[in-house]
C-alpha cells in the first residue's frame, strides 16, 4: 500500500467517490469525522457498504477506523462492522502493543461469530496521539500477527501537549512532532511492519504534499494517509519506485545472486553490502517486482 484515504463512514457519496480515487486503501472513519449521535447509523451504513463492496473482484483494501478502546464505543463499532468483513481495523489512540493485543482478541471472537478466516482481519495502529503513547512505541514488536502497520498523528498529540501549533510558518513539523514521527518509524521497523506517514492537512497544496511525501520516503516510510481524493495521485507517484530505483535494486539483487557467499559486491565502482541488498529487496517489493 502506498496511499490510504480517509472517508467519513456516514457519507455514501464520499465513499463512492473514494472508490474511484486510485487509493490503495480506504480508511472508513467512524471516529472523529462522525458525530456521536450519528455513530449508530454510521455503523449500519458502513456494514452495508462493506457487504456490497468487499466481494468486488478489483477494489482497494477496506479498513474501518473505530473509536478508541477507552471510549466505550469500540465493541459496538466492531459488532456493527465486522459482519461486513473489512480487510482491517484502524485503531486510534493506541497506547502500545498491549492495545493491539487486546484488539486482536476482540477481532478473533468476531471472526468466529461471522465465519471469517481466523487472523485475516489486519490492524493498523495510530501510535502517537498522546504523550503516553509516544513512550510505548517500542512495545509493538510481537504484539499481534495481525499488526500490519504503524502510523502517527500530530493533531491529537498537539492537543494532549497543550501546544499552540504543531507546524512552523513554513508548514514544517515542529520539534515534538518530528520526534514522534521518527520514533514511529523506528517502532515500525522494530515490529517489522509498514511505517505509514500521517496526513498533510492542506489538501490544496499539492507541491507541499509532494515534498512531505519525498521526505517520508527518503527516511523509510512506505505509505502516506490522505484526507482528500486529490492527494492520492501525488502520494502514489512518490511512493512508487521510479525506473532508476528499480534498475539499481535489480542490479544489487542480481549481483548477490551471482555471488551468494559474498558480503560485499561491486557495482559500477561502488561497494555494496548486505544492508543494501535488504534495501533493494524492499524497493522491488514496493514496485511489485520479484526479487
* pLDDT digit string, tens, across residues 253-286: 888 888 888 788 888 778 888 777 877 887 887 7
What cell was used for 217? 520516503
pLDDT at 9 over 60: yes
130-166: per-residue pLDDT in tens?
999 999 999 999 999 999 999 999 999 999 999 999 9
What cell was used for 1? 500500500
- What is the pLDDT at residue 214? 97
140 and 180 co-located in one domain:
yes
135 and 165 co-located in one domain:
yes
pLDDT category, 290, cuts 50, 70, 90?
Answer: low
233 and 271 co-located in one domain:
no
Q: Domain limits at 258? A: 243-287
- Which among 122, 109, 54, 106 has a CA at the least distance from the CA of 85? 54
- What is the pLDDT at residue 287? 77
- What is the pLDDT at residue 278? 76
- What is the pLDDT at residue 282? 79
Cα separation, 231 vs 6, whole angstroms: 11
- Long-range pairs for 171-175 at CB < 8 Å and ≥24 separation? 171/202, 171/205, 171/208
pLDDT category, 291, cuts 50, 70, 90?
Answer: low
- What is the pLDDT at residue 280? 80
Higher pLDDT, 135 or 287: 135
112 and 252 co-located in one domain:
no
- CB distance 161 to 176 below 8 Å: yes
106 and 65 co-located in one domain:
yes
HSE of 235, CA atoms in CB hemisphere, 13 A: 28
CATH, residue 13: 3.20.20.60
96 and 202 co-located in one domain:
yes
207 and 276 co-located in one domain:
no
218-239: per-residue pLDDT in tens?
999 999 999 999 999 999 999 9
203 and 272 co-located in one domain:
no
34-91: per-residue pLDDT in tens?
999 999 999 999 999 999 999 999 999 999 999 999 999 999 999 999 999 999 999 9
- What is the pLDDT at residue 108? 98
- What is the pLDDT at residue 128? 97
Decide which of 239, 259, 274 is a domain's last residue: 239
Question: Residue 151 pairs with which residues in a beta bridge?
Answer: 126, 196
212 and 272 co-located in one domain:
no
Helix (H) or strand (E) holding 202: none
pLDDT category, 14, cuts 50, 70, 90?
Answer: very high
Amino acid at each position: 500500500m502506498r496511499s490510504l484515504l480517509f472517508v467519513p463512514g456516514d457519507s455514501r457519496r464520499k465513499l463512492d467517490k473514494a472508490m474511484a480515487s486510485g487509493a490503495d486503501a480506504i480508511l472508513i472513519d467512524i471516529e472523529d469525522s462522525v458525530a456521536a449521535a450519528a455513530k449508530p447509523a454510521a455503523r449500519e451504513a458502513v456494514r452495508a457498504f462493506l457487504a456490497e463492496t468487499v466481494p468486488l473482484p478489483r477494489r482497494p483494501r477496506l479498513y474501518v477506523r473505530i473509536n478508541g478502546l477507552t471510549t466505550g464505543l469500540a465493541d459496538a463499532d466492531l459488532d456493527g462492522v465486522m459482519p461486513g468483513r473489512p480487510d482491517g481495523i484502524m485503531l486510534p489512540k493506541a497506547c502500545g502493543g498491549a492495545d493491539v493485543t487486546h484488539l486482536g482478541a476482540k477481532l478473533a471472537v468476531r471472526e468466529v461469530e461471522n465465519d471469517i478466516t481466523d487472523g485475516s482481519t489486519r490492524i493498523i495502529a495510530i501510535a502517537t496521539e498522546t504523550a503516553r503513547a509516544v513512550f510505548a512505541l517500542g512495545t509493538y514488536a510481537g504484539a499481534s500477527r495481525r499488526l500490519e502497520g504503524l502510523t502517527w498523528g500530530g493533531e491529537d498529540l498537539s492537543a494532549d501537549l497543550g501546544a499552540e501549533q504543531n507546524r512552523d510558518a513554513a508548514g514544517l513539523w515542529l520539534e515534538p512532532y518530528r520526534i514522534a514521527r521518527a520514533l514511529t518509524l523506528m517502532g515500525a521497523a522494530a515490529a517489522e511492519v509498514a511505517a505509514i506517514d500521517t496526513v498533510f492537512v492542506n489538501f490544496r497544496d499539492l507541491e507541499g504534499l509532494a515534498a512531505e511525501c519525498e521526505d517520508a520516503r527518503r527516511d523509510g516510510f512506505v505509505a502516506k494517509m490522505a484526507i482528500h481524493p486529490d492527494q492520492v495521485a501525488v502520494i502514489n507517484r512518490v511512493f512508487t519506485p521510479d525506473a532508476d530505483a528499480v534498475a539499481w535494486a535489480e542490479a544489487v539483487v542480481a549481483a548477490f545472486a551471482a555471488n551468494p557467499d559474498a558480503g560485499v559486491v561491486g557495482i559500477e565502482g561502488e561497494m555494496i553490502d548486505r544492508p543494501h541488498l535488504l534495501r533493494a529487496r524492499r524497493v522491488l517489493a514496493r514496485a511489485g517486482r520479484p526479487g
